[in-house]
Structure 1
Amino acid sequence: MESKSNREEKEMIRAVELTHYYDDGPEGEKEYSLRGIDLTVKEGEFVVVLGHNGSGKSTFAKHMNALLLPAGGKIYIDSIDATDPENTWEVRKRAGMVFQNPDNQMVATVVEEDVAFGPENLGVEPSEIRKRVDKSLKEVNMYEYRKHAPHLLSGGQKQRVAIAGIIAMRPKIIILDEPTAMLDPSGREEVMKTIRQLNEEYNITIVHITHFMEEAVQGDRIVVMEEGKIIIDDTPRNVFKNVELLKSIGLDVPQVTELAHELIKDGVPLDEGILNIEEMVEAICQLK
């Protein structure tokens, strides 16, 4: 795999006026979950999607994996039209999806068999599957657990096995729909470390949906959704300068970012968009 530093500016995801609705309004009317989404994600990018419940972020993610088809517009995955049902298999070979609950993705009673499930469905030769399973488990630091029963693993370990199962299918894109929501802080850090490694070392394009702001700051870009629309698409620093806007739509900001914001309101000459403790310490030291 090519390193992230050498990546080409190739489009891996492109949504054009993407629209989706459910027929489950109070009187059977259309409830729009996506309202004309336009978004392009380049090869090797790490894009974080934020939004409160009902903003449309999970619906959008499912279109990237062809789990849902739109009511209007288009979405292309590695230049393949994902709105054409005949392309579903090719889309899913390129874009793997990791869900919130790892137990829902476990299909076998032994870790290595679970990781082998995806490549087997793709018709990969057994000798190649063996290589892929071992390599994928090593990439998520779970190789030593290959003979273990998945139900005996911790939440973070289970999620890393789920990610290994996706990696074994050799996708170009991994879409993660709140993969750390059910994990403790240690498990969240395990999974985020794995995601960062796959992105930085192997150039896999990442779309990461989360409600943890400390995870969001690790992306290259943050896309903020509200009522089925994209309202912000920018770097983490620029996104988190909009403290009042984010709070107005029900989102938090990193604690240190909010602290800096409050200090600025009290007249302390700090920059908006401080993202972590190290930046805060440096900014305060410069005041002296």
Structure 2
Amino acid sequence: MSENMIECKKVVYKYQKNENDTKIAVNEVDLEIKKGEFLVVLGHNGSGKSTLAKHMNALLLPSGGKVYVDNMDTSNPENLWYIRNKAGMVFQNPDNQIVATIVEEDVAFGPENLGVEPLEIRRRVDESLQKVGMYEYRKHAPHLLSGGQKQRIAIAGILAMRPNCIILDEPTAMLDPSGRKEVINTIKDINKNYGITIVLITHYMEEAVEADRIVVMDKGKLILKGTPRDIFSNVPLMKEIGLDVPQMTELAYELNKSGIDINPDILTIDEMVNVLCQLK
């Protein structure tokens, strides 16, 4: 059995705008995502990262190449139901994903559609809401909740379907900083404590620091792969493709340039404080 949750092999995706205008959104992408991994995909708008994400649970099918989810070929229609069970997707706008007027009914919607027994649905709903820290809101109306809370409900709705992998396409883009923090902590928690593979598409560098591994996309291609330290210490290249790096990495880079000898791969404020305190 493969250790990979998702495999992309030479994946190409073309948008046909009209007869004479074809845009290649994803261009020959090779990517393996291990079971239990927390992977972040970075790239500015138009880099192809969201298009690639939609291939990971067969919302889009490749124009060329292959995508496998838990060894199942996404282009085989017979696999579709199983793939969607294995890999759930959470989108940018939580309002677009909430279908019921009571939180627990919304979380029950997915497993009901899978034909899960009522008693098992009850168990899954309670368990999923506990996992995302929203159990006490189970009787509330979702539209009265904050953006971060709604997004956690959307994640609970996916968890109730018992996926092995969750793909999150800029899930914090519409949230304020405290909502963003809530959602990222939830994602980290379900990855670490429940072993669920996480693929997070984001343009917030501070969120990417938490990942096991980062891949960077530009103009439809994967141009960098590595740990957060590997990726972010490459400040000139990141700037060149229009991406930021975490503020502390940038500060370390600028201090280095001005002749202060400190490690350029610093990621967090705590690391920076430690290093500065050790300077003679």
Both structures adopt the same fold (TM-score exceeding 0.5): yes
Deviates more, 1:80-89 or 1:203-212: 80-89
In structure 2, the partner of 1:214 is 206
* Aligned positions of 1:79-158 closer than 5 A: 79-158=71-150
Letter paired with 2:180:
R
Distance 1:84 1:224 in 2: 28
* C-alpha RMSD over aligned residues: 1.1
* Residue of structure 1 aligned with 2:181, choices 176, 179, 189: 189
The question of whether the paired residues in 2 share the 8 Å contact of 1:24 and 1:30 is answered with yes
Give unmatched runs, 5+ long, in structure 1: 1-7
* Residue of structure 2 aligned with 1:22, choices 15, 30, 33: 15
Instruction: Check 1:272–1:9 CA distance in 2 against 1; reply closer, same or farther (3 A cut).
Output: farther
Letter paired with 1:19:
V
Distance 1:18 1:214 in 2: 28
Residues 1:236 and 2:228 are matched in the alignment: yes
In structure 1, the partner of 2:6 is 13
Q: Secondary structure at the match of 1:34?
A: strand
CA deviation vs aligned residue, 1:89-139 (integer Å, no higher than 9, x gap): 111000000000000000000000000000011111111000000000001
The question of whether the paired residues in 2 share the 8 Å contact of 1:9 and 1:43 is answered with no
In structure 1, the partner of 2:169 is 177
Deviates more, 1:147-156 or 1:78-87: 78-87
The question of whether the paired residues in 1 share the 8 Å contact of 2:2 and 2:71 is answered with no
Residues 1:44 and 2:32 are matched in the alignment: no
Residues 1:272 and 2:271 are matched in the alignment: no
Q: Secondary structure at the match of 1:169?
A: coil
CA deviation vs aligned residue, 1:200-254 (integer Å, no higher than 9, x gap): 0000000001111100000000100001110000000010011111111110111
Distance 2:2 2:20 in 1: 44
Distance 1:37 1:126 in 2: 42
Distance 1:85 1:63 in 2: 14
Distance 2:77 2:238 in 1: 37
Q: Secondary structure at the match of 1:108?
A: coil
Distance 1:9 1:67 in 2: 23
Deviates more, 1:96-105 or 1:75-84: 75-84
TM-score, normalised via structure 1 length: 0.95
In structure 2, the partner of 1:4 is none
Distance 2:130 2:161 in 1: 15
* Residue of structure 1 aligned with 2:154, choices 148, 157, 162: 162
- How far off its partner does 1:9 sit? 7.8
TM-score, normalised via structure 2 length: 0.98
Q: Secondary structure at the match of 2:51?
A: helix
